[in-house]
């Protein structure tokens, strides 16, 4: 019977016809995928399908125990900092520079102001987690994005039509970017909660010495969190590229974290000052300029531009590698 002829009624008791699989599903692939049960059926890609794939990836990523553990560790950092400052300043000291809890002894930036205004705990926690904890968490998620699927044997199922490699790679990268934002907000919200419980809240004294209202300071804290999340996009792109190079999730995560530590070390060697402005971590702490009045934008713009460059370079490299990669698992 041709497709143009009307369908005849099936005899009673006949088994329903099976769905027709796609022609390009690949040898050994099936029409069933744990994330998209009908991914192997013939149909055209649509924006709604892409949103469904993204929603599925987000749910899978944020339901993993590893992801929840990373977010838990990040949330605990502001708690530890707040309790430590509270204990050190329990004798009534102001915690100024050089004193207990101050920044003169090598403590995180803004820590001298935490006892006067709990909002500064947000700035302190972000400054403390940005050099290592936040990028390490991003490196773990990004490194496992593609390599983890390959290691688990699910990557080939995700590439059946109408997913496509480019669509899947963009979905994975969007998921990692979402984790960047969520991880940063977790640190900021945890710090704001602890700061409000342990220290007074009020008008904010900027680095420039001027005073702004609490609402303005809270708005700047949110803006700082967004800038910190954007600062991690370079690490996300690098980790995604590394993830396309190997089929081992553990190897990809370890390599990404190792590169992160190496770049951080290179950024601290004075003899390498010529290349340091091109390292993605060089302008990370420029978010402190948002606590000035007026705001200094030069380093902030350089930081965002540098992250965009890393995203473009390593994102393109990841796409070039992934679209030509021989997927066997």
Q: How many CB atoms lie within 10 A of CB 168?
A: 20
Cα 107 to Cα 125: distance, rounded to the nearest angstrom: 11
Q: CA-to-CA distance for 215 and 306, rounded, in angstroms?
A: 30
HSE-CB of 312 using CA atoms within 13 angstroms? 6
- Report how far residue 282's alpha carbon sits from residue 264's, in angstroms, rounded to the nearest whole number: 8
Tokens 């090598």 found at: 106
Return d(Cα 220, Cα 117) in angstroms, integer.
Answer: 14
Can you spell out the DSSP letters for 77-132?
HHHHHHHHHHHHTTTS----TTSTT-GGGTPPTTGGGTTT-TTHHHHHHHHHHTTT
- Quote the pLDDT of residue 98: 40
**Amino acid 97: pLDDT:** 43
And the tokens for 189? 């919200």
Residue 211: strand pairing partners: 205
pLDDT at 323: 82
Rounded (10°) angle between helices 165-198 and 120-129: 140
- pLDDT number for residue 47: 55
**Coil/strand/helix, residue 291:** helix
Q: Model confidence over 190-221: pLDDT tens digits?
A: 999 999 999 888 888 888 888 888 999 999 99
Give the integer Cα–Cα distance in Å for 18 and 49. 22
Q: Structure pTM?
A: 0.77
Residue 50 is predicted with a pLDDT of 63
Residue 12, pLDDT score: 45
Name the token pair of 231. 């600062």
Q: Is 302 exposed, middle or buried (0-12, 13-18, 19+ CB in 10 A)?
A: middle
Residue with tokens 């705990």: 121
Confidence at residue 317, expressed as pLDDT on a 0 to 100 scale? 94
Return the pLDDT at 157.
Answer: 67
Cα distances (angstroms) measured from residue 294 to each of 66, 207, 297:
41, 10, 9
User: Which of 123, 142, 134 lies closest to 231 in space, CA to CA?
Assistant: 134
CA count, 13 A, side-chain hemisphere, 106: 0
| Low-confidence stretches of the chain (pLDDT beneath 50) | 1-34, 36-43, 94-107
Q: Give dist(CA 225, CA 189) in Å, integer.
A: 10
Q: Output the pLDDT for position 100.
A: 34
pLDDT reported for residue 218: 93
**Burial (CB count within 10 angstroms: exposed 0-12, middle 13-18, buried 19+), residue 325:** middle
């Amino acid at each position: 019977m041709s497709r143009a002829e009307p369908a005849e009624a099936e005899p009673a008791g006949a088994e329903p016809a099976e769905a027709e699989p796609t022609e390009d599903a690949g040898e050994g692939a099936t029409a069933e995928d744990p994330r998209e049960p009908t991914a192997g059926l013939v149909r055209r890609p649509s924006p709604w399908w892409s949103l469904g794939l993204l929603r599925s990836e987000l749910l899978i990523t944020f339901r993993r125990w590893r992801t929840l553990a990373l977010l838990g560790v990040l949330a605990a950092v502001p708690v530890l900092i707040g309790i430590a400052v509270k204990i050190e300043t329990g004798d009534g000291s102001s915690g100024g520079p050089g004193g207990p809890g101050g920044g003169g002894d090598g403590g995180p930036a803004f820590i001298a102001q935490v006892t006067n205004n709990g909002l500064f705990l947000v700035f302190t926690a972000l400054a403390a987690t940005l050099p290592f904890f936040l990028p390490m968490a991003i490196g773990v998620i990004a490194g496992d994005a593609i390599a983890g699927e390959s290691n688990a044997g699910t990557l080939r199922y995700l590439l059946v039509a109408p997913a496509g490699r480019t669509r899947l790679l963009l979905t994975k990268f969007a998921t990692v970017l979402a984790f960047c934002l969520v991880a940063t907000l977790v640190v900021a919200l945890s710090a704001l909660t602890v700061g409000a419980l342990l220290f007074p809240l009020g008008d904010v004294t900027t680095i420039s010495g001027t005073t702004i209202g609490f609402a303005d300071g809270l708005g700047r804290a949110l803006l700082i969190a967004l800038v910190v999340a954007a600062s991690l996009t370079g690490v996300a792109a690098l980790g995604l590229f590394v993830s396309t190079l190997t089929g081992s999730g553990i190897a990809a995560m370890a390599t990404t974290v190792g590169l992160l530590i190496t770049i951080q070390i290179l950024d601290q060697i004075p003899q390498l000052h010529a290349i340091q402005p091109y390292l993605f971590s060089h302008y990370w702490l420029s978010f402190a300029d948002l606590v000035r009045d007026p705001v200094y934008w030069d380093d902030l713009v350089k930081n965002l531009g540098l992250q965009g460059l890393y995203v473009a370079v390593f994102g393109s490299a990841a796409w070039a590698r992934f679209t030509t990669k021989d997927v066997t698992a």
